[in-house]
């Protein structure tokens, strides 16, 4: 086996496309679109490659950045015990709700959907009815999220959702609402959240909110029934737990170490993509956040931080010794120094913060993987910061080696990926000497 990433073979076969788009047609996975996710097929391939079939009923799979639950759901369907961490409250709600759907009585859910349709028809038919729910305090943008006609219907929908007495059913409604609310708004995912007018789309003056939400709920009901036909085939019911928290608290949450057989995850990329901003409507309208900013999304606690949160700090250094990475950080710091926080100095702080968190992450992973058996598959992408290419996968692997993990191989997943506009904006690239191709890969580590 190769001992370093520089000598590692690049695996290009045997693993299917990691892009989340494949999930849009798969039961349960299709409930919530997620720009930062990967495919259930990729998770399936990881399970096939790194878990023995006869060990599935006792194995544990961990996703430290669970997102909307792709790794957890696909593993659970295979009969494997799962545990995940997700700091974004809306994503954590989606992941947890998917896993708890196996316990929801389909007839009860169907009855609540019918009740919702009757409720909305009655309330929306009267011009005098006033919703009990109110818009979230302090939520604003350059364009009003909902037109007055749509907002009234949205508030009625929330009135019904908040009245549902069974928490698991109420959560299904909340996830359905969150997954379609932008569809009837004056914003759009392109794939990031942006104003419809900014992409030459007309604003939405009115929309059949009841039909849009009910249609989503009927699809979810179909998937609940499907899920409940799958679990009995396993011969046992796997254990599932989702922590609505940062993975950095795992040592305090997980009561035992060295029990994870397989870790499949994708940390935030080094591209300053602002995940809380993309879910700000859901965070506010579902009650996870209020007022300006992203406090409810715990922005300052996110893995890798964001450039906006560290750019004005004193120079941030690496908390470990890795000369090649330290040199890259200083190269970034030297670029466009006259722009201060908006030039190399600010962006170097972001790069150093990201890899300091990577070091913390790898130390925790080393504690929880099974010795000699535990495998971690981590999906990453390279980045361009101030014209400097940062091979995130390479440096992540070297950091893992510093933490006592063994690098096994690199899986090249996609030779090109989207995101150029995110990392090659004018504040970050002034004098790139060559065109750099963005790629996506997975590094495979063992305990």
pLDDT tens sequence for the chain (447 residues) = 333 334 444 444 477 767 767 778 899 999 998 887 788 999 999 999 999 888 888 999 999 999 999 999 999 999 999 999 999 999 999 999 999 999 999 999 999 999 999 999 999 888 778 999 999 987 877 889 999 999 999 999 999 999 999 999 999 999 999 999 999 999 999 888 999 999 999 999 999 999 999 999 999 999 999 999 999 999 899 999 999 999 999 999 998 999 999 999 999 999 988 878 889 999 999 999 887 766 666 778 889 999 999 999 999 999 999 999 999 999 999 999 999 999 999 999 999 999 999 999 999 999 999 999 999 999 999 999 999 999 999 999 999 999 999 999 988 888 765 544 344 443 344 444 456 788 999 999 999
Residue 4 has what pLDDT? 35
How far is residue 137's CA from residue 111's CA, in Å, rounded to a whole number? 32
Residue 263 has what pLDDT? 98
DSSP string, 260-279: BSEEEE-PPPTT---HHHHT
Tell me if 383 sits within 8 A of 389, measured CB to CB: yes
Residue 321 tokens read as 């010794």
Tell me if 131 sits within 8 A of 140, measured CB to CB: no
**pTM of this structure:** 0.91
Query: Nearest to residue 21, comparing CAs of 10, 7, 36?
Result: 36
284: left (phi over 0), alpha (psi -120 to 50) or beta: alpha
Structural domain span for residue 338 = 1-447
Residue 416 has what pLDDT? 66
Residue 138 has what pLDDT? 79
Residue 433 has what pLDDT? 45
Residue 434 has what pLDDT? 56
Query: Nearest to residue 339, comparing CAs of 304, 309, 306, 311?
Result: 311
Query: Nearest to residue 28, comparing CAs of 222, 231, 265?
Result: 222
In this structure, the number of other CB atoms found within 10 A of the CB of residue 231 comes to 16
Give long-range contacts, CB 8 A cutoff, 24+ apart: 199-202: none
How far is residue 208's CA from residue 243's CA, in Å, rounded to a whole number? 35
Domains held by the chain: number: 1
How far is residue 262's CA from residue 445's CA, in Å, rounded to a whole number? 10
Mean pLDDT over each residue of the chain, to the nearest integer: 90
How far is residue 411's CA from residue 390's CA, in Å, rounded to a whole number? 18
Residue 424 has what pLDDT? 45
Kindly state the DSSP code that residue 9 receives in the 8-state scheme.
P
Residue 311 has what pLDDT? 95
The helix-helix angle for 167-180 and 89-100 (nearest 10°) equals: 130
Supply the CATH number for residue 114's domain: 3.40.50.150
Residue 10 has what pLDDT? 42
């Amino acid at each position: 086996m190769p001992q370093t990433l520089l000598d590692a073979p690049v695996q290009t076969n045997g693993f299917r496309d990691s892009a989340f788009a494949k999930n849009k047609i798969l039961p349960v996975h299709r409930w919530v679109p997620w720009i930062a996710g990967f495919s259930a097929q990729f998770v399936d391939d990881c399970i096939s490659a790194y878990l023995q079939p006869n060990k599935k009923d006792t194995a544990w799979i961990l996703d430290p950045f669970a997102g909307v639950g792709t790794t957890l759901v696909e593993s659970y369907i295979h009969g494997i015990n799962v545990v995940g961490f997700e700091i974004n409250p809306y994503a954590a709600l989606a992941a947890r709700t998917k896993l708890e759907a196996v316990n929801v009585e389909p007839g009860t859910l169907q009855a609540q959907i019918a009740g919702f349709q009757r409720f909305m028809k009655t309330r929306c038919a009267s011009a005098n009815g006033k919703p009990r729910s109110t818009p979230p305090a302090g939520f604003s943008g350059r364009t009003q999220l909902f037109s007055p006609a749509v907002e009234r219907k949205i508030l009625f929908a929330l009135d019904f959702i908040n009245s549902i007495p069974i928490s698991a059913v109420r959560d299904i409604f909340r996830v359905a609402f969150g997954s379609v609310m932008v569809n009837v708004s004056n914003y759009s995912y392109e794939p990031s959240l942006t104003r419809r007018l900014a992409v030459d789309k007309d604003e939405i003056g009115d929309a059949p909110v009841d039909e849009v939400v009910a249609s989503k709920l009927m699809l979810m009901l179909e998937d609940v029934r499907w899920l409940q036909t799958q679990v009995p085939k396993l011969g046992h019911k796997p254990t599932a737990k989702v922590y609505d928290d940062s993975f950095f608290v795992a040592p305090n949450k997980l009561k035992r170490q060295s029990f994870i057989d397989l870790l499949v995850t994708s940390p935030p990329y080094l591209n300053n993509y602002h995940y809380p901003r993309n879910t700000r409507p859901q965070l506010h309208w579902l009650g996870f956040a209020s007022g300006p900013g992203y406090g409810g999304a715990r922005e300052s606690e996110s893995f890798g931080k964001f450039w906006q949160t560290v750019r004005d700090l004193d120079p941030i250094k690496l908390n470990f010794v890795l000369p090649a990475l330290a040199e890259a950080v200083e190269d970034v710091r030297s670029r466009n120094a006259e722009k201060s926080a908006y030039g190399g100095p600010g962006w170097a702080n972001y790069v150093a913060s990201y890899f300091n968190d990577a070091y913390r992450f790898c130390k925790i992973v080393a504690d929880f993987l099974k010795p000699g058996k535990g495998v971690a598959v981590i999906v990453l992408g390279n980045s361009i910061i101030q014209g400097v290419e940062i091979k995130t996968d390479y440096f992540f692997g070297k950091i893992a080696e510093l933490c006592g993990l063994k690098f096994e191989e690199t899986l090249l997943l996609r030779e090109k990926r989207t995101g150029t506009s995110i990392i090659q904006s004018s504040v970050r690239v002034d004098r790139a000497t060559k065109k750099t191709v963005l790629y996506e890969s997975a590094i495979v580590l063992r305990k």
